[in-house]
Chains A and B, each alone.
Chain A
């Protein structure tokens, strides 16, 4: 008595598949009556708004106060005086550690004035330098740089633990910013106020490089990979 039961099961499955297929056939052959057209008319603009317009509108763009050329300053033929044997040491000449191990971040005007000391005789002829000279050097005013990689207030980050103790290159987290010729606009999330570098430029959250985004999971992913799971406790990265 096995066979008939199995064939009746097959019959039910066939029937179900047939029903579904004919339903789709009707949807497609008769889009207006079946409502498919209306569904699509709603869905496609919604997807367009959600995936393309919203991400575009979500971030506000703001230019940096002046342009800054990393590649030019890293070139020892042009900017002579940035000391260091390796590339990382040259980065650290400007982005230095203080004696107590804290990171000084973006250099103060004092360091720039080692070379750009006289507002009346610029080193080159670029407009960017002229603006830097008249607006900041001449008035001895700090440049209000906008920070691309700034984390939210609740996050604690230590450069010395990563750069000196963890022996990581700047590039691992900052990509090619140290080689750029000009500054990209600063993009800020209108809702959270965070820089776009945290979530990443890719709205889907895909990343192909370690520096594409720097969310909580990205920090923890590397800690786990490098065998430093002890650094995945809340009070390591939060304050």
Chain B
């Protein structure tokens, strides 16, 4: 384990790109789960708030050699760099202590009421995982559409104009699972009790969620695959979201390799995994 957080949990996610069909269910499930604001006209996608964003990538070759893949991008919940120097890029730059790396869960928190909207974190995030509220969200829509509150989840607070928001690994689901465990007289939660909305909704089960510090959890086993990688790994942000793809060109796209630097994995060497 590369991390000094071994005493606590370190929740993380593994996304199998070869399974992902690009259907977008994860994005919808995420937005509905987390009270993500929609505007009356959502056609300007540059301004849309998408905690979970789906990107389309191609290998750039002409037909018939064209290949297309999709990769879903939540917040990477970047970790400590292992030398105790800094935490996640966004946490380091936050002037208001509105975002922190929680050492018990590994989740990067975002407290909307504390955020002053300077957007440094947005600039610092190499993954574009953070979004700014340019308009009033559900809280301040006037007049409030009748019955709209019924579509909102009370477990996630709504945001106002002028604050930054991002994926929280459905942190409220962790609290929900803990409450259930306490009610049943347990102190610890089971692996299956806490998974994010996107992982639950994915129709092809491309997303696996669990505790990276627990060797019995499926995520800990999946990240040992030689095909597992993270985005922009050389920045040393230590993302807790891993991807898996057997396609060399997909893995090559994940980082800024110099020409000739990327080493493809020969299928013969790893066997038929």
Please give the residue numbers on chain A whose beta carbons come within 8 Å of chain B beta carbons, in ascending order: 97, 99-102, 152-154, 156, 158, 160-161, 164-165, 230, 233-235, 238-239
Contacts and interface: CB of A to CB of B under 8 A. Distances in A.
Interface string B151-192: 000011110000000001001100110111111100100000
A101 B157 contact: no
A154 B155 CA distance: 9
Contacts of B178: 101, 158, 161
A101 B109 contact: no
B157 A234 contact: no
Contacts of B171: 235, 239
Interface in B95-126: 100, 102-105, 107, 109, 111-114
Q: Is the interface of A mostly helix, strand, loop or mixed?
A: loop
12 contacts: A97-B183, A101-B180, A154-B112, A158-B178, A161-B178, A233-B102, A235-B107, A238-B109, A239-B155, A239-B156, A239-B157, A239-B175
A101 B185 CA distance: 10
Interface of B: 8, 100, 102-105, 107, 109, 111-114, 139, 155-158, 168, 171-172, 175-176, 178-184, 187
Given A152-B113, A154-B157, A239-B155, A234 B182 contact: no
Contacts of A99: 183
Contact of B182 (A153, A165, A238): A165
Nearest to A162: B182
A156 B102 contact: no
Contacts of A234: 100, 102, 109, 111, 114
A161 B104 contact: no
B164 to A, nearest CB: 14
Given A154-B157, A234-B109, A239-B172, A101 B102 contact: no
Contacts, number: 69
B182 A101 contact: yes
A154 B113 contact: yes
A161 B178 CA distance: 9
B111 A100 contact: no
Given A154-B157, A233-B103, A238 B111 contact: yes
Contacts of A233: 100, 102-104, 109
Contacts of B156: 239
A96 B105 CA distance: 29
Nearest to B101: A233
A158 B175 CA distance: 8
A153 B184 CA distance: 27
Given A233-B103, A235-B171, A161 B109 contact: no
Nearest to A163: B182
A160 B179 contact: yes
A230 B114 CA distance: 20
Contacts of B157: 153-154, 238-239
A220 to B, nearest CB: 14
A97 B182 CA distance: 11
Given A230-B104, A235-B105, A238-B109, A153 B158 contact: yes
Contacts of B139: 153
Interface centre among A100, A154, A156, A239 (most CB of B within 10 A): A239
Given A160-B183, A233-B102, 15 more contacts: A99-B183, A101-B179, A101-B181, A102-B179, A154-B111, A156-B175, A158-B178, A230-B104, A234-B100, A235-B105, A235-B109, A235-B171, A238-B111, A238-B113, A239-B172
A152 B112 CA distance: 12
B180 A235 contact: no
A65 B96 CA distance: 41
Contact of A164 (B8, B176, B182): B182
A235 B107 CA distance: 8
A100 B176 contact: yes
